[in-house]
């Protein structure tokens, strides 16, 4: 899946309310903050509204699958059968 990497390069101090609201909708609060959004026409339109103060790169990333934090060696039913000799 393709994503936009959006970085806020300039501060939003002194900009019109409309512009700061677009930055807030994109999730950018502080300077040099980065957010990732999937490529879509609505996000592209928001980027065009603030194109002077953000930098954008398009990235292709695979969906991340988190490590569950544990591994199952045997189920409890298999252990029970093993102990009973079945």
The residue extents of the domains of the chain are: 2-60
CA distance 79 to 86: 10
8-62 pLDDT tens trace: 999 999 999 999 999 999 999 999 999 999 999 999 999 999 999 999 999 887 6
- 9-28 per-residue burial string, b: 16 or more CB within 10 A, e: under 16: eeebeeeeeeeeebbeebeb
Which backbone phi and psi does 11 adopt, to 5 degrees?
Answer: -70, 155
**Stated pTM of the model:** 0.69
- Give me the CATH topology for the region 2-60: Ribosomal Protein L30; Chain: A, (3.30.1390)
Nearest to 30 by CA among 9, 45, 49, 55: 9
The DSSP H or E segment spanning 4 is strand 2-8
């Amino acid at each position: 899946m393709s994503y936009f990497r959006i970085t806020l390069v300039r501060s939003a101090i002194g900009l019109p309310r409309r512009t700061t609201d677009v930055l807030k909708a994109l999730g950018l609060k502080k300077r040099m903050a980065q957010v990732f959004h999937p490529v879509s026409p609505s996000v592209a339109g928001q980027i065009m509204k603030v194109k002077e103060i953000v930098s954008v790169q398009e990235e292709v990333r695979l969906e991340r699958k988190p490590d569950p934090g544990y591994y199952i060696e045997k189920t409890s039913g298999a252990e029970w059968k093993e102990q009973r000799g079945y």
